[in-house]
Structure 1
């Protein structure tokens, strides 16, 4: 790969000659552990030498300070040796867009911590106080000792701060474009919903989501200042997440868990009690299950709607960070693909019905492997019929034009 590849901060991937290895390293890098260079030190995407990662033959050696060497085989060599799985070859060799537009960890980080809905309450009632940890950390004496190590009570300020969350998830994070212009896993950054209780015990703010005007697709009315953030989860595994977890997922598209439908309406106070068929609560004294969050019109996991409207900020620290755009969503979205065939199975077409009944009479049972084989054959058959049919029609058209020109002559 060339220098700068995977570190472009652009939606166009870097091209050029392979970065190779270096034989010498800068003096400032020699202050730490330096390994024997073997055939040369590998370079990072930014051109900096790995002082403990070297080339030796067709392998990469990671030399640990403990003295242990870890031998890695490059992907190119694994491909030449036919040591890669079919899934790996399809995902990262045949589909070049994956290699050029995705981070490696987009698929290989198979889980990520997802803490949805950060509920912060600042309570000034009853003389409640909280430690100002920031002030304590900055108050250092001549020995470098911070205030927190001396007496935390000296840094009490008015208002007790508590924090809760709405819900947690770990599996199959959503996708968005990160600040480097590549598709990456995306988790809640900090989806702050604020309540402030005054000194008299009354709510000054209750379940309030602030809005930021004129940013990220919003105009003067403002974008919800709850954030989804592209992230490197550091949960890398050898086995990547399944194709379906992205290509057949509402969540991956940014449409929310279950398409954002698996929830109550958070913008309205939610009460479960005796009620009429029209929803009117019958008792006069009731408990609220949760109070309304006025600015939250969608589930916390939903940061894009079906029309492409952004619903909350997405990685707002970098200019390229954003939800998937229309073109990216069109390439990703393969939801409902099963219906492409099964809306005609078993009786939607005469030919299909005949094949289904023949299989039933012969006692043929189709398992997953058979199913994949059938789809592969249908794809190849359809492609060849269209190709040969197009060529035949083209030849026929040329022949007819030839006959017409010859007759006129």
Structure 2
């Protein structure tokens, strides 16, 4: 019987490798497999299979990104029971078997959202704090679920960033933001001097073709490189600091603006901070929550601002919500800011109206 199980495991492995587009463990003996039929690549068909009859104790899910296929493949490996010593010798495999059923469902819904074009971008204005004039905006992804309505990025982006979906979504976000920005520049003179900021995931930043990919999108959309700012977290930069320096220098030579995102929440080497060819340093909102009443927080922000000045960087404070926070940041000479005090993230159509209003105020 054990020999038969092994033969079935090998057969199942080959079959799933050939046809599965996604596979998730729902419990100790149930598996959901999403199939993408060759005749209909846009159709996601969930298939629930009962595996208890073959006596498997766990399923190890291994994520593979196959570049030689038009869509990603998820490989499912079935394994018989192991004793305690085996589990201790393979902690990664044991951890991989602990798949959250909620994540399985969310992953399937995200795949459908991509196919159905349920994602959209909103744009939050960024202003020069000294005058509160508009200088640009940040592109932020939004998802309107057909059943559950609006879903916050906090609810789905952590999963996206650990799967193969991040490449697809990152590519769409960057191209859509550049396309929309180019359209605004063609219709609103004020937009020609503005910059759109786009967040790059850690996965996407580390891709060897990053620079070529960014250039191809700029060429395709016609957006000038100087009108695009890419935001990368300090945690991502420090994963391979030397590689980060090389990639950032190439992007800088193209004319793309660069920003360290969520500064202060990760670990940075000062020696590398001096080598990164960045334009701005973005102060994480967690440092601003009580800046209007907390003296220690004020001194912490002051220290970050002094570091930025010494590095020759402009600074952006995100999450500004009250006039007191704004007043404190102005007194500390922070360069730029964004937050609900100025504007919530706006749909593209609403941003068009916002640009028209700013244009009229500046008599352009």
Q: Greater helix percent: which structure?
A: 2
Q: TM-score, normalised by structure 1?
A: 0.22
Q: TM-score, normalised by structure 2?
A: 0.24
Larger Rg: 1
